[in-house]
């Protein structure tokens, strides 16, 4: 027995993705592993080096990964024992795009890709791990508490982390070159050159029977094996590997590895007995991996301008669109989108602070409304408040002036990113919504003890908030004030309950949609105001009345209510489902027309879609009856 290989196998078993392999499989891999001793400051590979035939695992020591940005070498990450790096040869053919250098005397294991590939193609967990690692370059070792987690792990629950590759959009060539099997090689080469294409599909009756790539020309024509006057059926790779149109990044990568090919043919049903719809190349997968949510968060952290943040927001829109197309549960999409939008807001605040200088007091920036509920998928307006800690009276004016300036810079940055200014002025840049903790306590006390008074009229969105930046203790203090005020506060719930039920019904007496009667949206259905908002308002009202803290998302609020109030669990669960259905239709409308999705042209929907929306409106009546019964609404009726 090779004791060195045995020891390496035992070491690797402690770390992902090797923990997915059996001991015998690890010993088999370990027998082929090279052990590299790197002295301090010694480079293993550098930017633009040709790719190695191995990838690497740190056995001991520290390896620094760096890249060039703005003509300067920037540290990207640190790799410690058990960290995997140098994965580019697995997923791309171009040269290294970073430098790996020993920070101290280190030992690195070199694992031959040829030996490890079969275990990847047989084990989806190994593939998922390597894809995530490659997409986020390496592990997030800046955060010592979470070292050993991938960057992407920080924005995924356990429920969604395994699905990362299914959230990513996969753009590919949907107008591939097609030729007959008896086409002459010379003519095909010219066709590919004229169209700047590196592949061509060989078809019979529009069914794919083979593929010819640049590699075939280099390996079969350039070396003289076949003359230029040959027909392409002599040099094509056959049969061609086919996949369906809705293939995910993970599935496509798995097929490339499994069959050791560089291109996949997309067909209508995924077989070679249906029409050709496109070609996926290795390059397409590399591009797709740049839309990995973890990578987007890292791009946000490095962004120095609103333009860079806007580019990430545009990638997020692509990610949302492809996720919906793949039927990813909307709750998961909300979670991912919410974290990325929150990261954009946080970076906008950081850039404003870099510009203005350090804050004169501690503070908390809270997103309110849809963003506070993590329900912002479309480019809707921005809603925020700023709370700064109490300061001495003689400093108050200067401190508030700083935070107003800060807020104006932040909201300007976010407007450039694409988040519109709130038409109602519910933004931290409005001096009414930027004030000290004591002033905010007075504000909420007034709203909740004397609701309905005109001064600083209350909007219910102020009860949906999430901290984006600053002191958690300040947010906690605000939450404490709200939940102290809800106890036995019939007047407040009377006001909130009537506000919830004040919306016009979505359907008329004849079960037809209540459409807009005038204005630019005449004849359209206001799905936001008439269908979605009553569910949002109802969930908020009930969650506050039951004093359930820390649940802001409407879908999760209904789920929580079903557990806390089992007598009506069926109604709550129906409302949760209805919220998902209606939100999906609004999102699809917004993505289609690059709008907020508020107004839907009912005539453009299929009969099935119209019936699905109507079915989602049914639980609203039950919710309305429950609210009327529970709160005995009177004063504000």
Identify the sign of the CA torsion 89, 95, 99, 105.
positive
Q: Where are the beta strands (DSSP E) in 12-71?
A: 34-38, 43-45, 54-60, 63-69
The CATH number assigned to the domain with range 303-476 reads 3.30.460.10
pLDDT attached to residue 464: 92
pLDDT at 377: 84
Residue 106: pLDDT band (50, 70, 90) is very high
637 confidence band (pLDDT: 50, 70, 90) = very low
The pLDDT tens digits for 443-489 are 999 999 888 765 456 678 899 999 999 998 999 999 999 999 998 88
Q: 178-282: what CATH class?
A: alpha beta
Mean of the per-residue pLDDT values of the chain: 84
* H or E segment and range at residue 28: helix 23-30
Give the model's pLDDT for residue 294.
Answer: 67
Q: Where are the beta strands (DSSP E) in 262-398?
A: 263-267, 276-281, 363-368, 384-388
Q: Given pLDDT bands bounded at 50, 70 and 90, which one contains residue 410?
A: very high
Backbone angles phi, psi at 135, to 5 degrees: -65, -35
Which DSSP helix (H) or strand (E) runs through 593? Answer: helix 569-593
How many CB atoms neighbour CB 18 within 10 A? Answer: 24
Note the pLDDT tens digit of each residue in 107-152: 999 999 989 988 887 787 788 778 767 765 433 333 333 333 332 2
> Model confidence over 573-592: pLDDT tens digits?
999 999 999 999 999 998 88
Q: Which of 386, 464, 92 is nearest to 262 (CA)?
A: 92
Percentage, residues of the chain above pLDDT 90: 44
Which pLDDT value is given to residue 502?
A: 77
Average pLDDT over every residue of 287-306: 77
Predicted local distance difference test score (pLDDT) of residue 389: 95
pLDDT at 250: 67
The arithmetic mean of pLDDT across residues 11-27, rounded, is 91
Q: What integer pLDDT is reported at residue 154 of this predicted model?
A: 28
- Dump strand ranges (E) for 521-617: 525-526, 599-600
Between CA 289 and CA 97 the distance in angstroms is 15
pLDDT for the residue 442: 94
Instruction: State the helix-helix crossing angle for 607-631 and 533-545, rounded to 10 degrees.
Output: 30
| The pLDDT of residue 604 is above 50 | yes
pLDDT at 54: 94
Between residues 143 and 333, the one the model is more confident about? 333
Burial class (CB in 10 A: 0-12, 13-18, 19+), 519: exposed
pLDDT tens-digit profile of 220-273?
Answer: 888 888 888 889 999 999 889 998 877 777 678 767 877 778 899 999 878 888
Question: Phi, psi (5° rounding) for residue 159?
Answer: -65, -35
pLDDT tier for residue 158 given thresholds of 50, 70 and 90: very low
| Cα 363 to Cα 371: distance, rounded to the nearest angstrom | 19
Cβ atoms 165, 244 nearer than 8 A = no
pLDDT tier at 634 (50, 70, 90 boundaries)? low
Residue predicted with more confidence, 72 or 108: 108
In the chain, where are the structural domains located? 3-162, 178-282, 303-476, 490-631
Length of the chain: 637
Report pLDDT for 94.
73
What is the Cα–Cα distance from 268 to 39, expressed in whole angstroms? 54
Judged on CB neighbours under 10 Å (0-12, 13-18, 19+), 492 is buried
pLDDT at 161: 35
Buried-state track 280-296, b at ≥16 Cβ within 10 A, e below 16: bbbebbbebbebbbbbb
Least confident range from 32-46, 423-437, 443-457, 485-499: namely 443-457
Average pLDDT over residues 167-191: 84
Lowest-confidence segment of 163-177, 344-358, 411-425 by average pLDDT: 163-177
Q: Are 78 and 64 in contact (CB under 8 A)?
A: yes
What is the pLDDT at residue 289? 64
Give the domain 3-162 fold. Jelly Rolls (2.60.120)
Q: In the predicted model, is pLDDT for residue 417 greater than 90? A: yes
Mean pLDDT of 497-512: 79
């Amino acid at each position: 027995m090779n004791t060195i290989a045995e020891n390496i196998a035992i070491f690797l078993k402690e770390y992902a993705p090797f923990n997915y392999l059996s001991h015998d499989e690890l010993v088999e891999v370990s027998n082929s592993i090279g052990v590299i001793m790197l002295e301090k400051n010694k480079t293993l590979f550098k930017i633009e080096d040709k790719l190695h035939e191995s990838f690497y695992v740190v056995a001991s020591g520290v390896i620094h990964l760096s890249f060039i940005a703005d003509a300067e070498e920037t540290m990207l990450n640190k790799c410690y024992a058990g960290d995997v790096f140098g994965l580019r040869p697995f997923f791309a053919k171009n040269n290294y795009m970073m430098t790996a250098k020993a920070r101290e005397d280190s030992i690195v294991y070199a694992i031959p890709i040829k030996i490890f590939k079969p275990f990847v193609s047989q084990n989806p967990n190994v593939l998922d791990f390597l894809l995530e690692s490659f997409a986020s370059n390496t592990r997030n070792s800046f955060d010592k508490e979470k070292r050993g987690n991938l960057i992407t792990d920080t924005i995924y629950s356990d429920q969604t982390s395994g699905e990362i590759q299914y959230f990513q959009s996969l753009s590919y060539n949907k107008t591939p070159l097609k030729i007959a099997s008896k086409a002459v090689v010379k003519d095909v080469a010219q066709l590919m050159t004229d169209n700047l294409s590196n592949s061509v599909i060989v078809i019979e009756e529009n069914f794919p029977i083979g593929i010819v790539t640049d590699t075939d020309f280099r390996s079969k024509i350039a070396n003289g094996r076949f003359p230029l006057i040959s027909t392409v059926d002599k040099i094509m790779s056959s049969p061609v590997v086919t996949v369906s149109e809705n293939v995910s990044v993970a599935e496509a990568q798995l097929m490339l590895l499994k069959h050791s090919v560089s291109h996949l043919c997309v067909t209508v049903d995924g077989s070679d007995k249906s029409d050709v719809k496109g070609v996926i190349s290795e390059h397409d997968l590399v591009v797709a991996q740049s839309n990995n949510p973890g990578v987007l968060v890292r791009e946000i952290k490095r962004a120095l301008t609103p333009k860079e943040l806007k580019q990430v927001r545009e990638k997020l829109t692509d990610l949302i669109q492809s996720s919906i197309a793949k039927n990813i549960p909307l709750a998961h999409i909300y979670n991912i989108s919410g974290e990325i939008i929150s990261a954009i807001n946080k970076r906008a605040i950081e850039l404003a602070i870099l510009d203005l200088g350090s804050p004169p007091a501690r503070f908390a920036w809270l997103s309110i409304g849809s963003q506070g509920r993590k329900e912002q998928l479309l480019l809707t307006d921005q809603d925020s408040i700023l709370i700064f800690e109490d300061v001495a009276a003689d400093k108050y004016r200067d401190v508030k002036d700083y935070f107003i300036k800060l807020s104006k810079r932040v909201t300007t940055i976010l407007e450039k990113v694409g988040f519109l200014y709130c038409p109602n002025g519910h933004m931290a840049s409005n001096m009414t919504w930027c004030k000290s903790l004591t002033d905010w306590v007075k504000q909420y006390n007034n709203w909740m003890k004397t609701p309905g008074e005109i001064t600083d009229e209350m909007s219910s969105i102020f009860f949906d908030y999430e901290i984006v930046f600053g002191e958690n203790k300040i947010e906690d203090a605000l939450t404490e004030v709200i939940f102290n005020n809800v106890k036995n506060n019939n007047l407040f719930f009377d006001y909130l309950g009537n506000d919830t039920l004040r919306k016009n019904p979505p359907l008329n007496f004849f079960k037809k949609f209540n459409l807009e009667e005038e204005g630019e949206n005449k004849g359209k259905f206001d799905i936001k105001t008439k269908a979605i908002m009553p569910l949002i308002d109802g969930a908020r009202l009930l969650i506050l009345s039951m004093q359930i803290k820390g649940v802001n998302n409407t879908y999760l609020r209904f789920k929580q209510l079903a557990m806390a109030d089992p007598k009506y669990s069926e109604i709550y669960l129906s409302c949760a489902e209805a919220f998902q259905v209606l939100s999906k239709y609004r999102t699809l409308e917004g993505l289609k027309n690059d709008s907020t999705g508020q107004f839907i042209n009912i005539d453009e929907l299929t009969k099935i879609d119209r019936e699905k929306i109507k079915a989602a409106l049914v639980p609203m009546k039950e919710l309305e009856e429950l609210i009327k019964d529970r709160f005995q609404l009177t004063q504000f009726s």
